[in-house]
């Protein structure tokens, strides 16, 4: 009985931690072996850039000003002013873009805005559609790289998307930036080494028109990017990570906005694990697809803070079981998982995170973990199920590329 109980705990833990550590180590190898990512060569076709924007008056001018530096005369930029009660549409109309206004009290959320935009452009689409958030900074050649890759691979494309902080940012934002670095750069680089698909990240995404116009976008899912990635893998289309295309955003400065954004991300991720991982595993078994199974395993990896908490809890539980049974093998195995994961996170910090989090900052880690645990507990008794717009406040100046 103790053996069965321990195996039910340790086998999923072994699969998740092993796959996560494999991604991290391979990703770190890619980062340490090459300072720059090799650009994809090829002819860049015209694109339609679709930007959903809900109350983005503080940032949309800066976003479009910077974006226009990287578009061609043959490109088309469409801004969906979605349920706005500010002057987002009026500001966007000052640029050489098309602005369409959507109003719907019932269907609120980014997915509905994207679907509205796709339906609008389907009478005259470009071959490649790029989706950007309204608060993104597009770096040099990112549009070109995404467009070339989508055409070359005929697949969904995910650029390198990172969050940035400032010198005045809180410790929790610095931790979040480091977590983004692991999730959105290091892990996808590891998956790329293994020739495996990555997750979609919500912005900096490019799609062949024939794929995106059939996608199920009109939904209120609070992490519509994760759901879209699942839909694509189930239909046999893997998302390819292109690190040579870089998109960045800044965290909101308002504390309540930070909590709202973090809660949406965390609750959406956990709900996606619960809802879609079983479906993906069933599909992988039925279709005998290892890539689909590994995609499910990647999706099943919870946020790092939660994973550490679970491992500590499981290790403590197995210690109690070991004391009762006088067999410490299960406790030792769980301890190995904890040590291995700790090593990978520390290696990530040493190679890529020292400029983000200093040793002095580490004294704030316990408080950060407690705050994150509150978010996870609320998933069970007060789960966020509908889209809540992050209020960013006044935008800060970006560094132009």
pLDDT tens figures, 263-285: 777 888 888 999 999 999 999 99
pLDDT tens per residue, range 52-72: 999 999 999 999 999 999 999
Q: How many CB atoms lie within 10 A of CB 120?
A: 16
Look at the block and give the residue holding tokens 């055409």: 151
- Both tokens of 298, joined, read 């990647």
pLDDT at 227 over 50: yes
The yes-or-no verdict on residue 391 having pLDDT over 60 is no
Q: How many CB atoms lie within 10 A of CB 348?
A: 23
- In the chain, the N- to C-terminal Cα span, in Å, equals 61
Query: Higher model confidence: residue 251 or residue 155?
Result: 155
Give me the sign of the Cα torsion angle 144, 64, 213, 247.
positive
**How far, CA to CA in Å, does 398 sit from each of 83, 193, 239?**
26, 32, 29
Question: What's the pLDDT at 325?
Answer: 83
Sheet holding 47-53, edge to edge: 98-102, 76-82, 47-53, 128-131, 205-208, 157-164, 240-250, 137-138
Residues 6+ apart with CB under 8 A from 235: none
Higher per-residue pLDDT: 169 or 155: 155
Structure tokens, 50:
């679709």
> Inter-axis angle of helices 329-348 and 304-325, to 10 degrees?
160
Bridge partners (DSSP) listed for residue 397? none
Q: Can you give the pLDDT at residue 197?
A: 96
What six digits make up the tokens of 288? 């005998």
Please write the tens of the pLDDT for every residue from 95-133.
999 999 999 988 988 999 999 999 999 988 899 999 999
Pair 218, 178: CB distance under 8 Å? no
55 three-state secondary structure: coil
pTM of the model: 0.90
Q: What is the pLDDT of residues 1-58, one digit of tens each?
A: 666 767 788 899 999 999 999 999 999 999 988 767 889 999 999 999 999 999 999 9
* C-beta of residue 299 within 8 angstroms of C-beta of residue 280: yes
Q: Write down all domains in the chain, each with its CATH number in brackets.
A: 36-278 (3.90.550.10)
d(CA 36, CA 23): 19
């Amino acid at each position: 009985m103790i053996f069965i109980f321990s195996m039910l705990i340790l086998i999923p833990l072994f699969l998740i931690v092993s796959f996560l550590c494999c991604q991290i180590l391979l990703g770190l190898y890619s980062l340490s072996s090459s300072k720059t990512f090799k650009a994809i060569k090829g002819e860049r076709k015209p694109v339609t850039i679709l930007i959903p924007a809900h109350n983005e008056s503080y940032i949309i001018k800066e976003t479009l000003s910077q974006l226009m530096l990287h578009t061609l005369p043959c490109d088309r930029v469409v801004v969906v002013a979605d349920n706005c009660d500010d002057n987002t549409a009026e500001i966007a109309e000052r640029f050489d873009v098309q602005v369409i206004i959507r109003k719907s009290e019932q269907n609120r959320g980014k997915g509905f805005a994207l679907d509205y935009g796709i339906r609008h452009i389907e009478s005259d689409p470009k071959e490649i559609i790029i989706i950007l958030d309204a608060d993104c900074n597009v770096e040099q050649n990112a549009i070109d790289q995404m467009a070339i890759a989508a055409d070359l691979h005929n697949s969904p494309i995910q650029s390198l998307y990172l969050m940035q902080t400032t010198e005045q940012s809180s410790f929790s934002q610095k931790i979040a930036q480091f977590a983004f670095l692991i999730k959105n750069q290091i892990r996808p680089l590891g998956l790329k080494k293994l020739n495996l698909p990555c997750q979609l990240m919500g912005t900096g995404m490019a799609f062949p028109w024939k794929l995106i116009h059939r996608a199920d976008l009109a939904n209120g899912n609070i992490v519509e990017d994760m759901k879209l990635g699942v839909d694509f893998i189930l239909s046999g289309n893997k998302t390819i990570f292109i690190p040579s295309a870089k998109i960045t955003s800044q965290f909101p400065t308002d504390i309540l906005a930070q909590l709202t954004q973090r809660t949406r991300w965390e609750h959406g991720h956990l709900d996606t694990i619960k809802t879609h991982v079983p479906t993906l595993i069933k599909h992988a078994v039925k279709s005998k697809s290892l890539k689909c199974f590994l995609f499910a395993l990647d999706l099943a990896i919870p946020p790092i803070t939660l994973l550490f908490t679970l491992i500590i809890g499981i290790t403590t539980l197995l210690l109690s079981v070991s004391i009762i049974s006088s067999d410490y093998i299960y406790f030792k195995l769980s301890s190995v998982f904890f040590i291995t994961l700790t090593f990978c996170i520390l290696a990530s910090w040493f190679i890529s995170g020292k400029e983000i989090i200093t040793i002095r900052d580490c004294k704030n880690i316990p408080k950060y973990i407690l705050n994150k645990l509150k978010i996870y507990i609320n998933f069970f008794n007060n789960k966020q199920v509908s889209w809540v717009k992050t209020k960013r406040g006044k935008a800060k100046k970006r560094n132009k590329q």
